[in-house]
Structure 1
Amino acid sequence: MATEVTTEAPEAYDALLDHYEQLSNVNSANMLLSWDQEVMMPEGGTPARSQQKSALSSLSHDLLTEDQVGEWLDELDDADLTGEQEAVVREIRREYERADRVPSDLVAEISETTSEALPKWKEAKEEDDFSIFAPVLEELVELKREYAAHIDDEADPYEVLFADYEPYLDLETAERVLERLREELVPLVEDIRDSDVELADPFTGEFDVDTQEELARDTLDTLGYDWDHGRLDTAPHPFSTGNQFDARVTTRFAADDPLGALTSTIHEFGHARYTLGLPREQYGNPLGESRDLTVHESQSRLWENHVGRSRVFWEKFLPAMQERFPQVAEATPEDAYEAANEVYEDNLIRVEADELTYHMHIVVRFEIERELIEGDLDVADVPERWNDKYEEYLGIRPDTDSEGCLQDIHWSHGSFGYFPTYSLGSVLAAQIYDALEADVGDVEAKVREGDFDVIAEWLEEHVHRHGARYTTPELVEEATGEAYNADHFVDYVTEKYTELYDL
């Protein structure tokens, strides 16, 4: 279903678009195989799945780097194109130029190794034994170094890998934002720990996981999830995947942590809502693809934190939780709000962390994976380095590898350079939320009334519908009227937590 952006498009442009659609469909199929492997594939399926994914990765690479693609791009260098056509060519050219430098057999080897790494990571986490995962992690580190060297052997290899996930905000910007967060959040957390305020926590005890799943579905219903184009499943590490016709979410449940499952579900809804908001008529070309991970993460963090952790959300949603769980019948919306925003002194797990300490989890992995890729840290030394950094930045030391360096799935995917986008996206979420509020008025009043559509529709109009039409800085400017910056986030968390903890 290739879509011509204009009926007057040059022949080379139409040919390029048709070809790219094939590539897009191969990538979508590969993504679906990854979803299946993480959600429902039988444990013994890994050997075949590794080969299947490797074959599709090789096919995708070959399609992208065919000589004809370069020829079409050359023909379009000086062509008279519309703004949207120029954006399509820009995005395909960038992908082509990077991929063309990487041998196809290396792409296949990376894909096969990541498929084999996933069950090793799961086993290592379950057995609390990093040594099970260490050999395949070492392979992936070497393969990703080789990959980076093919793309640009004179650049910082980590910077090359980071650009896979965020091509238009450079690594210097990421480092500057993370440094700002360290400077602002560490003293704020210290002030909170010195505070005498004790926040309410009515969600203690055991909460049946099947009932939690019913509540998760209630939550997605409340927020307006489109079940005709999505589904909810469980996974060891929650994620969302898909396209504008099929955007799936996963979450996980723990009997003693109902809030964790709830916030995870809302977070993944934010990702899926972005994906579902991409223009359907542009499926198969960059105008129908999301704008990289900083923007994607801004959507999930906006829904999770600015909506799901707000007072007004709990005024609206607490009755549904009380109906499912009578043990919280006496809780007030203020109690729930406080519990959803408590800053824990001993939280070791990123996906369970509060808004403030969350970013120190990002910093730890960011610094360690930089050392790994740059050859300054041996894989065998990762657990000790991890624990040392947690003690330095968070004042706590993991007792187990499962709670430490094995807690997140990303390294088993070979996703080095991914992690900074979590903090970059959180920062952008605050900037976008302020623009939303400036435009539509009292957003909290809308949430109190259960009108979540006003948020979703504004985001679709100002962010989702553009796909990859704009670069990240351009899209931020288009959506918010100003350049990307951390001021809105710092102001938001400072005001929120100063009030909560009476600082």
Structure 2
Amino acid sequence: MATEQSSVPEAYDDLLEQYGRSTYLGDANMVLSWDQEVMMPEGGTPARAKQRGAISGMQHELLVDDDVGAWLEDLDGADLPAEQAAVVREIRRQYDRKAKVPTDLVEEISEATSDAHPVWQEAKENDDWETFAPTVERLLDLKREYAEHIDPDADPYAVLFADYEPYIDLETAERVLERLRDRLVPLIDDIRETDADLYTVEGTFPEADQMALARETLETLGYDFEHGRLDTAPHPFSSGTQFDARVTTRFDESEPLDSLGSTIHEFGHATYTQGLSTDDYGTPLGEHRGLTVHESQSRLWENHVGRTEAFWEGFVPRFNEQYGTDLTSRQAYEAANQVYEDNLIRVEADELTYHLHIILRFEIERDLIAGDLDVAEVPAVWNDRMEEYLGVRPDADGEGCLQDIHWSHGSFGYFPTYSLGSVLAAQLYAAAESDIDDLAGKVRGGEFGPLHEWLTDNVHAHGQRYTTDDLIERATGEPFTADHFLEYADSKFGALYGLDR
């Protein structure tokens, strides 16, 4: 039963203070994770695993403390302002899930993922799945145990997926993925049957030049270096808070567009983080809505800005100046959007085949979590499905099942959000185009402020005030839908490849 209204403000303030302390520990842990992937000496893992495990345990204990449960009970049914009600809703959701998980399991998972990072890195460099397989077995066991504590009667993969996307259910994600597969596979087949010859950028592009251009690109797009930094990592990522949102990229001296696309992608993540409310730091209103929305921001900037002809019409002079090339904007646009037959690596994939990478890993993850696939069989199943879905077969594990870092993080259930985010990116960009006069012209002229402002006003600034579906409908005027993405893909690639669609 709810308490008297006079006690509500006190319970709310106490709850917020406790949640803030838990959040600050989590953010400190995030910096330790960034350091491990970017700067930490190779031999630092044993200590780092213990450090991160201890912090994860402390963070967990703060959030599942009995007092938190009591404060939430005091606030049950209270007549709160909308923003306070949203804060309570989000903390309650986390409490209800995490209170079921023992602290020692949380610490063990954190230590295991820290231990896993160098093992994955070595296995990838040596193309040796067998080296990494015992680590995957350990993480799968831990994550199954974690899911069983939260809901022993639910599909464990659905429980894990809800950690990354709390309000779009797994059934919806599966329907979207099936729809993408059904529509994109024929489109890719049609593209491969054409005799279109899109331009390819060739040559050697030194890492120092790529870093200089990556930094300038971030500045051009509006990245705030006062609250961020650019580094390299084996697997590009972005992490941080609205006060310190960092990005990483990586370089291949024969593929300058890959590092550029990666940088723009991570910029999208970071600009979302930098756009969160500073006044609400330490509360759910100062945190991102979930990984579907987060991925929508990275994919929007990467694809709907960075892979457009309008962007290249404005940016190609700077590209040519950096590298001594003489590309036209049309050539750069074609090169940035070419659908390659040899498409082994997800982070280097074109905009269409990218989603088949997601579907492939999603299917394997589900079977692993369910116990329907043995870890030792992963390379063979991976290679068979690559051949079936993408028409290519990896020659080595490093370009196959070891290419992504996510399993070393124990991030089973993460991957569907990549495609969900791409779908949402198209929906959000269509709404922004409707609201912003001549958005393409502004992109062409390097005026990214209006798009930043639109995204901040409609997405970033709200934090977790709205559920995912409510946020989408408020921003776009319609429920979550794949229609915009599929129409965009047909139109863009149909025109590029001369298809009658």
Gaps of 5+ in 1: 1-6
Q: Which contiguous aligned blocks of 4+ residues in structure 1 show a shift greater than 2 angstroms?
A: none
Note the C-alpha offset of 1:18. Answer: 0.7
**What is the 5 A alignment of 1:331-342?**
331-342=327-338
Partner of 2:427: 431
- Give the whole-Å Cα distance in 2 for the aligned partners of 1:441 and 1:393: 40
Q: Is the 8 A contact 2:57 2:106 kept in 1?
A: yes
DSSP 3-state at the match of 1:247: strand
Partner of 2:260: 262
Deviations 1:95-150 (CA, angstroms, capped at 9, x unpaired): 11111101111111111000000000000001111111111111000110010000
Deviations 1:66-103 (CA, angstroms, capped at 9, x unpaired): 00000000000021101111110010001111111011
Partner of 1:355: 351
Partner of 1:4: none
- Give the whole-Å Cα distance in 1 for the aligned partners of 2:32 and 2:199: 43
CA RMSD of aligned residues (A): 0.9
Percent pairwise identity? 66
Partner of 1:272: 270
**What is the 5 A alignment of 1:77-226?**
77-201=76-200, 203-226=201-224
Partner of 2:3: none
- Give the whole-Å Cα distance in 1 for the aligned partners of 2:140 and 2:23: 27
**What is the 5 A alignment of 1:366-405?**
366-405=362-401
- Give the whole-Å Cα distance in 2 for the aligned partners of 1:24 and 1:113: 21
- Give the whole-Å Cα distance in 1 for the aligned partners of 2:144 and 2:222: 42
- Give the whole-Å Cα distance in 2 for the aligned partners of 1:9 and 1:436: 40
DSSP 3-state at the match of 1:10: helix
- Give the whole-Å Cα distance in 1 for the aligned partners of 2:488 and 2:236: 26
- Give the whole-Å Cα distance in 2 for the aligned partners of 1:200 and 1:413: 37
- Give the whole-Å Cα distance in 1 for the aligned partners of 2:93 and 2:186: 41
- Give the whole-Å Cα distance in 2 for the aligned partners of 1:254 and 1:498: 29
Q: Is the 8 A contact 2:8 2:75 kept in 1?
A: no
- Give the whole-Å Cα distance in 2 for the aligned partners of 1:467 and 1:333: 37
Q: TM-score, normalised by structure 1?
A: 0.97
DSSP 3-state at the match of 1:359: helix
- Give the whole-Å Cα distance in 1 for the aligned partners of 2:486 and 2:395: 32
- Give the whole-Å Cα distance in 2 for the aligned partners of 1:217 and 1:95: 37
- Give the whole-Å Cα distance in 1 for the aligned partners of 2:391 and 2:291: 29
Partner of 1:3: none
Note the C-alpha offset of 1:8. Answer: 11
- Give the whole-Å Cα distance in 2 for the aligned partners of 1:195 and 1:420: 30
- Give the whole-Å Cα distance in 1 for the aligned partners of 2:12 and 2:433: 40
Note the C-alpha offset of 1:441. Answer: 2.3
Deviations 1:231-288 (CA, angstroms, capped at 9, x unpaired): 0000000000001111000000011110000000000000000000001000000000
- Give the whole-Å Cα distance in 2 for the aligned partners of 1:18 and 1:150: 27
Q: For residue 68 of structure 1, what is the amino acid of its counterpart? A: D
Partner of 1:291: 289
Note the C-alpha offset of 1:442. Answer: 1.6
Q: TM-score, normalised by structure 2?
A: 0.98
Partner of 2:35: 36
Q: For residue 242 of structure 1, what is the amino acid of its counterpart? A: G
Q: For residue 272 of structure 1, what is the amino acid of its counterpart? A: A
Matched, 1:449 2:448: no
DSSP 3-state at the match of 1:346: coil
- Give the counterpart of 1:308 among 306, 309, 317: 306
Q: Is the 8 A contact 2:278 2:286 kept in 1?
A: yes
